[in-house]
């Protein structure tokens, strides 16, 4: 546990939450500022500030849980779709510095705008960017 980290305290049961799933490694609870009905957070009990600090096997296990719980949420809430979102760094919208994966059930006409505005790029720029990422 990391001193002063609210998700460490929630994940480890020190602060109550509306838990929908728990095992030795994770707690999954409802977001208190939900984007839509059922918005939940998959949170590892061991502190890692973001994806880069998260052990690889925990990252894999979190995605496995997203598949299982996401399907359950869509079926039982009769949602029309699901966004699986994970923010790293302030520039990417991360406000809580303890890794978490958002499960956001989507409903036709739910009024949310989670997708981005598509930009423009030339084939030459795409070549440069791909080369830059490969390093």
| Residue of 39, 47, 100, 102 with catalytic role | 100
Query: Which of 51, 74 has the CB closer to ligand AMP?
Result: 51
- Residues binding ligand AMP: number (CB under 6 A): 10
CA trace torsion 13, 15, 21, 22 (10° rounding): -10
Query: Which of 5, 85 has the CB closer to Zn ion?
Result: 5
Query: Stretches 29-37, 42-50, 112-120, 127-135: which one binds ligand AMP (CB under 6 A)?
Result: 29-37
Whole-Å CA distances, 25 to 12, 15, 17, 55, 83 = 10, 17, 16, 12, 23
Q: Which of 4, 16, 33, 118 binds ligand AMP (CB under 6 A)?
A: 33
């Amino acid at each position: 546990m990391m001193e002063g980290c609210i998700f460490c305290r929630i994940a480890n049961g020190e602060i109550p939450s509306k838990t929908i799933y728990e095992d030795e490694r994770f707690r999954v609870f409802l977001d208190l500022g939900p984007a839509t009905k059922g918005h939940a957070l998959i949170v590892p009990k061991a502190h890692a500030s973001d994806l880069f600090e998260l052990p690889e096997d925990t990252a894999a296990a979190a995605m496995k849980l997203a598949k299982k719980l996401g399907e359950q949420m869509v079926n039982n809430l009769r949602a029309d779709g699901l966004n699986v979102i994970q923010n790293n760094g302030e520039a990417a919208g991360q406000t809580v510095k303890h890794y978490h994966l958002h499960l956001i059930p989507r409903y036709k006409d739910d009024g949310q705008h989670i997708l981005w505005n598509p930009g423009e790029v030339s084939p030459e720029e795409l070549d440069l960017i791909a080369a830059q990422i490969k390093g």
